[in-house]
Amino acid sequence: MKVCTHCGESFEPKFPTAKLCYSCWLLREAMLEEYPELEREVRTLRLALERKAPPAIPPDILKILIGCCHPDKHGNSKSSNTATRWLLEQRTSATQFKETSPW
């Protein structure tokens, strides 16, 4: 008798090198059959995520836009603060997306 390394149940091995009971072995085989399908699904999801990446504003254009709407040039108005804050967030989020993206 041996003890299954997965579920801990005792079993009578058919082979001396067996480490899994028959039930766990069947489960493992089924999972291995699904592996290629899961890899395809992961690739598909990664591509979809890449397509949803925020559109990048070129850094030189972003700098110009920030300069054009900066609160110092518009009497510290609420709209210039809002626009500048949003543009600065775009710069930050574009940088973070590139740094955290595993692709």
What's the pLDDT tens digit per position in 46-77? 888 877 766 678 888 888 999 999 999 889 99
Token pair 């254009």: residue: 61
Token couple for 68: 């054009």
Cα 21 to Cα 24: distance, rounded to the nearest angstrom: 5
pTM recorded for the entire structure:
0.40
Helix (H) or strand (E) holding 11: strand 10-11
Res 103 pLDDT > 50: no
How many CB atoms are closer than 10 A to CB 83?
A: 18
pLDDT for residue 6? 94
